[in-house]
Structure 1
Amino acid sequence: MLRSLDIHDMLIIDRLELNFQPGLNVLTGETGAGKSILLDSLGFVLGWRGRAELVRQGADQGEVVAVFDLPEGHAAHGVLEEAGLPGGAELILRRVNTREGRKTAWINDRRCSGEVLRALSETLVELHGQQDDRGLLNPRAHRQLLDEFAGLDGAGLRAAWRGLQTARKALAETEAALDAVREEEEFLRHSVAELDKLDPQPGEDGELDARRRQMQGAERIRDDIARASALLGGEGAEAAMGEALRWLEGVAGDAGPTLDAPLAALGRAMIELSEAQDGVERLLEALEFNPAELEETEERLFAIRAQARKHGVQPDDLGDFAETLRGRLARLDAGEHDLEDRRAAVRAAEVAYDAAATAMRAARAEAAGRLDAAMMAELAPLKMERAVFETRLAPADPGPEGIDTVAFTVATNPGAPAGPLNKIASGGELSRFLLALKVCLHGADGGVTMIFDEIDRGVGGATADAVGRRLEALAEGSQVLVVTHSPQVAARGSHHWQVSKRVEDGVTLSTVAPLPEPARIDEIARMISGDSITDEARAAARALLAG
């Protein structure tokens, strides 16, 4: 609810402080008194786009402050939370406009953008009038209005749409992944077959290289070692030392102890020679290899290194790389099964969405019939019993809100073609259509302050009385502000404000004042009779106020 509106130096208002009340608040005054300036100022603080020059002549800047009461659960709380702004039971909007055109806004003393203000305004205020392109005349809002009239929240439908989109995305990703793998399927299968046949082992490259070097070196040194072995063997050093030992042993008895030391040394030498000969023979055995083994070793070493170069990895990493390729092949082989699962999930999600969308369409069609009947019942007292209101459903591309578009259409006379509200109805007819529609949709207001700008224009008598009664009904349990020239409407107000102009020091200023009961009688009498207020007009005013 709009609790107060403070305006400073805006257009022809120097300073104005208004405290509004729940129920029906009516604003009256002569044409040009400044009633539209109040709406311009309220629209300014709410971030609406309006007049370019708002600052009062001679002032450096204009300022508007609006205070709203926010009950728990009000939609404005969500906007504040999303914007990271402080909330609470009281909402204070302040906006300043300098003479140079610079605009600055605050929400609860925190700087904010005009975009946030406009988002808040959608939850705070509805403006209805003959230029109501932000509300009931906006075709994009008709589906939401019908859903709110029917009490359809659409959560299940939106969840089904999200499920369908998720399933489709998963299918697309699986198809893309499979397409990418299929492009290299031949390469993968050929590479895996080569690596499986080769079966490289970790560390094998180093072992093969060492063995190859050993075999290549053996060819160069084996002959020399063999010659050395022959010289150490039974026909070489061993034979000579053995022969010398026998000769010395043969004369040892005659030579005495002088040969003991040479015989001992020669014995030790024979032992060392034997060990040397054993070592050389073992080396010769180690150097023994089949020439074909060298060829086989080289071929495998070259094959491993060729595969490593081909795939851009180290030879010792070939085994892990082969496992990676096998994994990609496994995904390809399993991909067709996964793809079918994804397709089945999409089909199931489509069935679920189609069922939810079809159920929503049926609910909307039923609600459209109820809304049309309610509208016809409202139009008759407004002297539009010959008009036809129709809520039309048409197919739309599937989306989170279903498969329907919704449009409110009217035909002002039987047999006349139906069309959009703002294209078919005249100014006075449009006002009455909007009022009747708002009455029918009243249950979906959600704590919004409703403002009707001269919605009674072009009507009078019993029709104006019917307009007033409906505005009064709308205001029950909520807040309605009405700018009116109709005494029948003004008399229905719970609170009456008079807008007037005055001239001070050659400057025209506008002011707004609450009217007590005696002054209210005179104001309604003025609306009935004009500038000259007669006793008869006052009597008529009292009768209107008496209801």
Structure 2
Amino acid sequence: MLLRLLIQDFVLVDRIELDFRAGFGALTGETGAGKSILLGALSLLLGERAEGSVVRTGCDKADLVAEFEIAADSPATAWLLANDLSADEGVLLLRRVVDAGGRSRAYINGMPATATQLRELGDFLADIHGQHAHQALLRADAQRDLVDSHAGLRPLAKEVGALYRDWQAARRAREEAEKGAEALLHERDLLAHQVKELQNLGFNAADWEALNTEHARLAHAASLLEGAEMALEAISEGQAPLGAEAERIAARLSELSSYDSSLGEIAELLSDAAIRLDEAGHALRRYRDRVDLDPARLNEAEQRIEAVVSLARKYRVQPDGLAELLSESVTRLENLTQLADPAALQAREAAAHKAFTAQAQALSAGRTQAAQALGAAVTNAMQELAMAGGRFEIALQPEPDGSAVGFERIEFQVAANPNQPLRPLAKVASGGELSRIGLSIQVITSESQSTPTLIFDEVDSGIGGSVAEIVGRRLRELGSKRQVLCVTHLPQVAAQANWQWRVLKETNDGATRSRLMDLDEAGRIEEIARMLGGVNITGTTRTHAAELLGVKQG
């Protein structure tokens, strides 16, 4: 549930901090006062694309913060844990900073995040129904997505799309193989030779490094042996070995240290040096014994290096890239072998088609069940919304060959009056009818979703009177289960809310700002009266407002 929203330097708002409540809340105000600004800020916090135009005139940046309460077992909590963004238990903080240049930064629980992450997480937090949601329902893709979302079929629909693309890729592979069989066979023969040549080389990147090290040692074996002998002669085997000289000097200085103690430290250093020179002499003897003057082995190493370099030059890669080339060549050869085998290609295509068909049929079954239930629910709602005798159905138009969306097209059909045939929603619904049907669909589908916060932005346009009151009651019922916020211009809808805010637009010193009032009972009566009567509010209007609110006046 949304607990708090902080908006600073956003459009007409200098600074507003809002504390939200449970239940159904109404946001009202005069046209142009900035009612939708709050929802625009929340949309940005939920990952909508940011633009510099949202920054209040004269300011460098807009700063938006939202605090949500989330349950330990909620999908939002699971998403946070999966993305290493969890913080205090039960609390979620979203922040979005937009500068005047249009660049934005996003944060989740104080950690930097991307707009994509905000959108992913936002799907678990709030569902915003915008002012143009009714018109969106006229699009086939929006109708299909609504049914899939309502029925929890989105993951299956996504899988069906992927399987369809796999099937089409297998079909194209078969067709291409049939058209270019000769060219494929030629390429396969060349690759087979290349793979054989690389495999025969037996190249290994680690062996290549070891081979170069061994070659360097063998090629300079004489110099290495000469250097070792010279060092050994100087250290311990010559007429005046350094080790013996260091010991003699150390002994003499040690004797003299009885007269001057500062010589004792120098004597110790020379004594340590004598020990180290002795150790170096032993190590040099061992090294001398290992150095191998082996012309035959040197020749073998040179031939091996030449073979590797020659093959690398032939295939235009660096020597250490031969192993990767072999791996790529083997993979490509396997693919070409399949492409050159009509039976294998046909089997692959058949398997892909079978997998697509199985999941697409499961998707069709789920859509059929959801379409029947949703159609009946919307039809029932129409009877309450001044469309008695009207019918709403969701037709599944078969697509026998299938597509990326399954085996059917989805079409919303309506008969606004009794004895009328069902026709596509886009062709028969007037603006008012579309508003009522669209709002019914949104409320009904919202009831089946798990999103804890639902926001309706002037989706009640085109209705009024008793229909508006019924809509308000439906939103209030929905608010008993979820948190609901509705931006509305209808007093009948606002009167059904559990709490109400009014947005005001003020101009001071040439600057226009929006501010918000949390209305108490008296304030709600006055605001509902304004919505009913306009500028001139009379006692009768206030009485009517109080009646709508169910408030007894003394």
The letter of the residue matching 1:374 is: A
Partner of 2:133 in structure 1? 132
| Residues 171, 342 of structure 1: 8 Å contact kept | no
Q: Which residue of 2 aligns with 1:33?
A: 33
Q: Deviations over 1:328-369 (max 9, x none)?
A: xxx9xx999x98788668657755653553344244224322
Deviations 1:227-264 (A, max 9, x none): xxxxxxxxxxxxxxxxxxxxxxxxxxxxxxxxxxxxxx
Counterpart position of 1:101: 102
Is 1:454–2:461 an aligned residue pair? no
More deviation in 484-493 or 445-454? 445-454
Query: Which of 386, 391, 408 is the equivalent residue of 2:394?
Result: 391
> In the TM superposition, what is the alpha-carbon distance from 1:373 to its structure 2 partner?
1.8
SS state at 1:542 partner: helix
Is the partner of 1:92 in helix, strand or coil?
strand
| Structure 2: 5+ residue stretches without partners | 191-313, 315-333
Describe the superposition over 1:367-394 as per-residue Cα deviations: whole angstroms up to 9, x where unpaired. Answer: 3223222111101211133654331223
CA spacing shift, 1:100–1:415, aligned 2, 3 Å: same
Question: Does the residue aligned with 2:16 lie in a helix, a strand or coil?
Answer: strand
Structure 1 residue 8, shift from structure 2 partner: 0.8
Cα distance, 1:493 vs structure 2 = 0.7
Counting only pairs closer than 5 Å after superposition, residues 52-451 of structure 1 correspond to structure 2 as 52-77=52-77, 80=80, 85-86=85-86, 89-132=90-133, 139-150=140-151, 158=159, 165=166, 347=350, 350-351=353-354, 353-385=356-388, 387-396=390-399, 398=402, 402-410=406-414, 412=416, 415=420, 418-421=423-426, 425-451=429-455
**Residue 6 of structure 1 contacts residue 17 of structure 1 at CA under 8 Å; is this kept in 2?**
yes
Structure 1 residues 16, 392: closer, same or farther in 2, change over 3 A? Answer: same
Report how far residue 478 of structure 1 moved: 0.9
The CA deviation string for residues 290-309 of structure 1, in whole angstroms up to 9 with x for no partner, is: xxxxxxxxxxxxxxxxxxxx
| Conserved? CA contact 2:77–2:86, under 8 Å | no
AA paired with 1:438? Q
Partners in 2 of 1:114 and 1:434 — Cα distance?
29
In structure 1, what residue type is equivalent to 2:2?
Answer: L
Name the residue aligned to 1:244: none
Q: Which runs of 5+ in 1 are unaligned?
A: 188-311, 313-330
Of 50-59 and 438-447, deviating more is 50-59
Q: What's the TM-score once normalised by structure 2's chain length?
A: 0.61
Question: Does the CA contact (< 8 Å) of 1:410 and 1:418 recur in 2?
Answer: yes
Q: Distance in 1 between matches of 2:157 and 2:505?
A: 55
Larger Rg: 1
Q: 1:33 to 1:186 in 2, by over 3 A?
A: closer
How do 1:498-517 and structure 2 match up within 5 A?
A: 498-517=502-521
Secondary structure, counterpart of 1:21 in structure 2: coil
CA deviation string 1:474-498 (max 9, x = no partner) = 2221111111111111111111111
The one-letter code of the counterpart of 1:126 is D
SS at structure 1 position matched to 2:394? strand
**Which stretch of the first structure deviates more once superposed, 79-88 or 17-26?**
79-88
Residue in 2 aligned with 1:43?
A: 43
* Residues 417-465 of structure 1 deviation map (CA, whole Å, 9 limit, x = unaligned): 83355x7644433321221102322343222422112222232221111
Range with bigger deviation, 479-488 or 118-127: 118-127
Tell me: CA distance 1:486–1:171, structure 2 relative to 1, closer, same or farther (3 Å).
closer
Secondary structure of the equivalent of 1:97? strand
**Letter in structure 2 aligned against 1:9:** D
Residues 1:16 and 1:426: Cα distance change in structure 2 (over 3 Å): farther
1:530 aligns with 2:534: yes
**What is the distance in 2 between the residues matched to 1:62 and 1:446?**
31
* 8 Å CA contact 1:167, 1:342 repeated in 2: no
Aligned partners of 1:335 and 1:503: how far apart in 2? 74
Amino acid at match of 1:97: V
After TM superposition, the score normalised by the length of structure 1 is 0.62
Paired residues of 2:62 and 2:97 also in contact (CA < 8 A) = yes
Determine the C-alpha separation between the residues in 1 that align with 2:498 and 2:66. Answer: 21
Cα distance in 1, alignment partners of residues 53 and 450 from structure 2:
33
Q: Sequence identity, in percent?
A: 39
Would you say the 8 A contact 2:163–2:355 is kept in 1? no
Q: Is the Cα–Cα contact under 8 Å of residues 148 and 154 in structure 2 kept in the other structure?
A: yes
**In the superposition, relative to structure 1, how do residues 374 and 179 fare at CA in structure 2: closer, same or farther (>3 Å)?**
farther
Deviation at 1:132, TM superposition (A): 2.2
**2:393, 2:414 within 8 Å by CA — same for their partners in 1?**
yes
Deviation string, structure 1 residues 48-94 (Cα, Å, up to 9, x no partner): 24765122233232211112223345444565566654466322221
* 1:33–1:501 CA contact under 8 A, matched in 2: yes
Contact kept, 8 Å, 2:24 with 2:499, in 1: the verdict is yes
Q: How far, CA to CA, are the matches of 2:389 and 2:136 in structure 1?
A: 25
RMSD: 4.4
Q: Which residue of 1 aligns with 2:242?
A: none
> Aligned AA for 2:470?
A
Hey, what does 1:254 align to over in structure 2? none
CA apart distance, 1:411: 5.2
Counterpart amino acid of residue 424 in structure 2: G
Distance 1:426 1:129 in 2: 19
Q: Which amino acid aligns with 2:512?
A: T
Give the conservation status (yes or no) of the 8 Å contact 2:164–2:403.
no
